[in-house]
Structure 1
Amino acid sequence: MPLNDDDFMRYSRHLLMSDIGESGQQKLSQARVLIVGMGGLGCPVSLYLTAAGVGSISICDPDRVDKTNLQRQILYETADCGNLKVACAKDRLQALNPSVVIDTFPCPIDEKIVAGNYDVVIDCSDNLAARQLINRVCYDERVPFISAAAIGWEGQLIMFDFAHCRDLCFNCIINHSSADPMMNCANSGVVGPVLGVMGSLQAVTVMRILLGFSLHHGEVQRYDGKRGQWFSVQGSSDKECSVCG
């Protein structure tokens, strides 16, 4: 569908970029993505992808807004406490960009939801079991998968281009990093802006995929907010992996 007058105004800063332009904006408007978890990561991811004009965004989270969330989950307000996160998020996101379709799943993630014909699946959950399920289904469905996490002052992002690369997955990373607390961070303290940094990086990575830019499959990016430092390492495959081995 061609861009209309409102689109040309709304996305003007994308249209000025030679590597996005009108054709790139149309790619974004035709894309379907799934965000699993609408907490400290899911909030900035969903805001930036909605603002960017990604055509269809599904959000999955069974939780209700709690006052303890408000320190870092920037979509929600005090008055939202007790309400479903996905319902509150949908209202805010559609107010930001009414042309984006927001579908909600107020339930735990399951295989059927992940296998919903998405262009990218974005893991913003806070537990290892959910990440393992997403990884397995995305690998089987050959769907790109981006996972992020944060604890304290530190954040991590891992990207998998399962559409083109089949020799390394999240399960391999787990097998090499089983003692890393970043893998399971449901009950850990965290600095709110660190989640904002990692969620923003997830959104950038999603746009790279949707626009057809290259992706560093299996690269682990780490951010140390206290020291203001980044570093990255290439993940290694596990020949005994139960998913991709």
Structure 2
Amino acid sequence: MKLTEEQINRYSRHILLKEVGGKGQLKLMNGKVLVIGAGGLGSPIALYLAAAGVGTIGIADADQVDLSNLQRQIIHSTPDVGKAKVLSAKEKMLAINPELNVVTYETWVNADNILPMIADYDFIIDGTDNFAAKFLINDACVLAGKPYSHGGILQFDGQTFTVSPGESPCYRCVFPEPPPKDVIPTCSRAGVIGVLPGVIGTLQATEAIKYLLGAGDLLHGRLLTYSALRMRFREVPIRKNPKCPICGDHPTITELKDELDALTVCDLGH
């Protein structure tokens, strides 16, 4: 497979990079990334993956666009209110890059559908807004051996790190189990500054692109936190937990289950 003249022109700024070049751009074009969540985090992730030329991008979300989403979910616009988020997102992604294969999943991820959903993808991105989904994505990716990027946001603060099963700590190494309900406020109660998901989501998209290229250092064993109010990043070392219930020496989680109501509990979310 060779790049066409149009593709060489489109991706010229990538091709100029020694870490990318023509071969790297072909890797991106042959790559497959699944974005779970088409909201605040998923918006910049999907847009940048589309612009970068990632050949197949899956996007999963069962929600419809609401007027309150538009303050931060930049892939959607006012005429999209009431439209399925995955369809709205697909339209914008193809408008940026019509060569893409955009696969939509208009559903919430659950213990029954997530393993088949992630099976064909090289890299998974967690852009969800609740603990139930985040633990489920982690467990599914660990069991399936799929690398993924975790991201979370709330108010003015965000966090992200990357999990490669067998190589790095997983989400449960850091957070063994979900917190009690209502301990962390929902985004609708606590709020979120509109630009914050752009920062964290762009970092997550970067991790996916680096993974496909095989370039640079991924956020393995490093929790990257960001405070928009203080305009400060902080890197917190994290270690594999030998007692982790899913990736430890004697795992107790060997199959998936839905632990919580994904519609009512909010993590550091959209």
Q: Same fold by TM-score, threshold 0.5 exceeded?
A: yes
Aligned equivalents of 2:178 and 2:76: distance in 1? 33
Tell me the distance in 2 between the aligned counterparts of 1:57 and 1:158: 20
| Residue aligned with 2:242, SS | coil
> In angstroms, what is the RMSD of aligned CA positions?
2.0
- List aligned pairs for 1:44-123, cutoff 5 A: 44-110=44-110, 111-123=114-126
2:3 corresponds to which residue? 3
Query: Normalized per residue, which structure has more helix?
Result: 1
Partners of 2:242 and 2:185 lie apart in 1 by 23
1:233 aligns with 2:223: no
Correspondence 1:20-39 to 2 at 5 A:
20-39=20-39
Is the Cα contact below 8 Å between 2:172 and 2:246 reproduced in 1?
yes
Query: What's the CA shift string for 1:63-99, capped at 9, x where partnerless?
Result: 0000010100001111111110001111111111011
* C-alpha distance in structure 1 between counterparts of 2:120 and 2:157, whole Å: 32
Give the 3-state SS of the residue equivalent to 2:153 in structure 1. Answer: strand
Structure 1: segments with no counterpart, 5+ residues: none
Distance 1:122 1:159, change over 3 A: same
Counterpart contact for 2:131–2:178, Cα < 8 Å: no
The one-letter amino acid paired with 1:156 is: Q
Determine if the alignment matches structure 1 residue 143 to structure 2 residue 107.
no
The 5 Å alignment of 1:111-190 reads 111-162=114-165, 165=167, 168-175=169-176, 178=179, 185-187=186-188, 188-190=190-192
Residues 222 and 185 (structure 1), Cα distance of their counterparts in 2 relative to 1, 3 Å cut: farther
* C-alpha deviation, 1:243, in angstroms: 0.7
- Partner residue in 1 for 2:13: 13
Q: Secondary structure at the match of 1:3?
A: coil
Is the alpha carbon distance of 1:216 and 1:239 closer, same or farther for their aligned partners in structure 2, counting shifts above 3 Å?
same
**Normalised TM-score (structure 1):** 0.93
For 1:198, which of 174, 181, 200 is the aligned residue? 200
Q: Is contact 2:226-2:232 (8 Å) kept?
A: yes
Deviation at 1:186, TM superposition (A): 4.8
Partners of 1:208 and 1:182 in 2: how far apart? 35
User: Following TM superposition, by how much is the alpha carbon of 1:184 offset from its aligned partner in structure 2, in angstroms?
Assistant: 7.8
Residue identity over aligned pairs, in percent, reads: 37
Alpha-carbon distance in 2 for matches of 1:231, 1:177: 23
How many angstroms does 1:5 deviate by? 1.1
CA distance in 1, matches of 2:244, 2:186: 23
Moved over 6 A (4+): 181-184
Give, in whole Å, the separation in 1 of the partners of 2:63 and 2:116. Answer: 17
* Residue 141 (structure 1) shift: 1.6
Which residue identity is paired with 1:127?
A: N
Amino acid aligned to 2:175: I
State the distance in 2 between where 1:209 and 1:185 align.
Answer: 32
2:187 and 2:131 mapped to 1: Cα distance?
9
Paired residues of 1:174 and 1:183 also in contact (CA < 8 A): no
The residue identity in structure 1 corresponding to 2:30 is Q
What amino acid sits opposite 1:211 in the alignment? L
TM-score (norm 2): 0.84
CA contact (8 A) 1:219 1:233 kept: yes
